[in-house]
Amino acid sequence: MNRHLKVAFMVAPFLALLGYIGADYYNENEASKEKIIQLVPEGHCDIINHSCVLKSGDFKVNVSDEDGVTEVNSTFPLDSATLFLVDKQDKMTSYPLGMQKSPYYWRSNTQLRTFVSNKGDSYKLRLIAKIKGGQYISEFYTQTVK
């Protein structure tokens, strides 16, 4: 074995380790960059009957309402979440959601139940969920089935 091959065998593990660490820093930096990703409803959305899932790839958000408290829970921990109720004139009322128990669960008292409590009622909503540098946004309708 010549000396060049010996040096290569001694240097290779350090280069591999530096490459691994460098790739991790690069991925972390890319993840924290500002980006906007759209969430789309997975089938019919009925918040009153706990049947509203928004998704984008592996990320899913479940939106439900129980006695005037609207809750959002997600598959990944959120930094913040805001729900907007949008009336027929496109006027929005924002409801910043507060974290409950863990960053996977967010809730706030809203007026949503008063607008969609009867069968067939429909209402437009917007949701912004923030994770690091990413903003997951959605505009969707909820319609009460039962």
Which parts of the chain are beta strand (E)?
A: 35-38, 40-41, 53-56, 59-66, 69-74, 80-86, 92-100, 102-109, 122-131, 134-143
63 exposed, middle or buried (CB, 10 Å; 0-12, 13-18, 19+)?
A: buried
Q: Residue 3's closest CA among 18, 17, 13, 11?
A: 11
| pLDDT tens digit at each of 146 positions of the chain | 788 888 888 899 999 999 999 999 898 887 777 888 999 999 889 988 888 999 998 999 999 998 889 999 999 999 999 999 998 888 999 999 999 889 999 999 998 888 888 888 888 999 999 988 789 999 999 888 87
- Predicted local distance difference test score (pLDDT) of residue 78: 93
CATH of region 35-143, choose from 1.10.8, 2.60.40, 1.10.1060, 2.30.30: 2.60.40
Strands 80-86 and 59-66: unpaired
Cα angle vertex 110, ends 127, 56, to 5°?
20
* Long-range contacts from 94-97, C-beta under 8 angstroms, 24+ separation: 95/70, 97/70, 97/72
Q: What is the DSSP letter of 5?
A: H
List the strands of the sheet with 40-41, edge to edge: 35-38, 134-143, 122-131, 80-86, 92-100, 102-109, 69-74, 59-66, 53-56, 40-41
